[in-house]
Structure 1
Amino acid sequence: MNYHFRKAELSDISPIWEILQQAIQRRKEDGSNQWQDGYPNPEVVQKDIEKGEGFVLTDGETIIGYSAVLINDEPVYAKIEGNWLTNDDFVVMHRVAVSENYLGKGLAKLMLKYIEDFALSNNIYSVKADTNFDNIAMMKIFEKLGYSYCGEVYFRGSPRKAYEKVLAKQDQLKL
């Protein structure tokens, strides 16, 4: 496989939005209220990209996954009901989604590994994330990859499960 993880470009908005719409529909079919309130939307993706925080997973030239990756930029994380493992610099991921055509191949896990590498390449040893209480698939991925449940954070009035993984220098992905 020819997978790469790179910064998204404005010209990528259309395939990214297609992937997010598929994920929004999957969440709806799963009976979840996550992403059922008009968020995320193309404007959110455009802002991610303009701020240099939008990333795509590609198979050759085809965009097959998307995530926003931010450094130290999640104000609600300061108000966690619980405790983070660290209080140092951190990378946070949002809007992780994989194309319908590529489900079941472990690509969300691969994207998280790339995000961990991004953190390490910036000398940051903490990755934080959150997910909806009913997003069992994402919680399983966090558990498999060694993320620790730290408590709850609130987005747009809804509680989310918050996770953190502390990285070691030797965690760098060998590709």
Structure 2
Amino acid sequence: MEYSFRQAQQVDAPQIWEILARAIQRRKEDGSNQWQDGYPNPAVVDGDIEKGQGYVLVDGHTIAGYCAIWINNEPAYAKLNGKWLTEGDFVVYHRVVVAESHLGKGLAQKMLLYIEDFARQHMIRSVKADTNFDNAGMLNIFRKLGYTYCGEVVFRGTPRKAFEKVLVD
């Protein structure tokens, strides 16, 4: 399969929300409290797209995955209970989801590699992210891709594991 990674457009929003809604349900079925508080929601997706921060992984004409990416803009990361590997510019991403029809194909990992390319294109060598303590899939991907556990951050009153990867060429 040939996938492409591009900035999301407003016309993509319904399909993105459908993917996110199903992912929220999967987290609930897994017994997780992640994404069970009304976040994310369609307004969050619309905001990502309007700000040019929403990105999709596309399989032909089908959206196979979604994430939000931005540079140096995660206030919670300034309050890390731990220590980041680097200081200065970083790329951060959130809401990494894969469509139900594309699960089990390694696409979340593929999206993270595209995010690393995004960082390199912007001459940034640090990628930071976080996830829920019980998100075994994401924790495994961080391990596979060489992320380092740096401590905890808090989002909406909930602690999350924070990771960083320093990129090398």
Give the 5 Å matches for 1:1-175.
1-168=1-168, 170=169
RMSD across aligned C-alpha pairs, in angstroms? 0.5
1: CA distance, partners of 2:138 / 2:75: 22
In the superposition, the TM-score normalised over structure 1's length comes to 0.96
1: CA distance, partners of 2:115 / 2:159: 24
2: CA distance, partners of 1:124 / 1:22: 33
SS of alignment partner, residue 154 of structure 2: strand
Residue type at the aligned position of 1:108? A
2: CA distance, partners of 1:55 / 1:74: 17
Residue type at the aligned position of 1:84? W
Residue type at the aligned position of 2:57? L
* Alignment correspondent of 1:173: none
- What stretches of structure 2 of length at least 5 have no aligned partner? none
Q: CA deviation at 1:137?
A: 0.7
The alignment covers a number of residue pairs equal to 169
In the superposition, the TM-score normalised over structure 2's length comes to 0.99
2: CA distance, partners of 1:17 / 1:64: 12
2: CA distance, partners of 1:96 / 1:134: 15
Q: CA deviation at 1:82?
A: 0.1
Q: Deviations over 1:33-70 (max 9, x none)?
A: 00001100010000001110000000011101000001
SS of alignment partner, residue 85 of structure 1: coil
Q: Deviations over 1:126-160 (max 9, x none)?
A: 00000001001100000000000000000000000
Runs of 4+ that moved beyond 3 A: none
Using the aligned pairs only, state the percent identity: 69
Residue type at the aligned position of 2:127? V
Q: CA deviation at 1:32?
A: 0.1
2: CA distance, partners of 1:60 / 1:90: 30
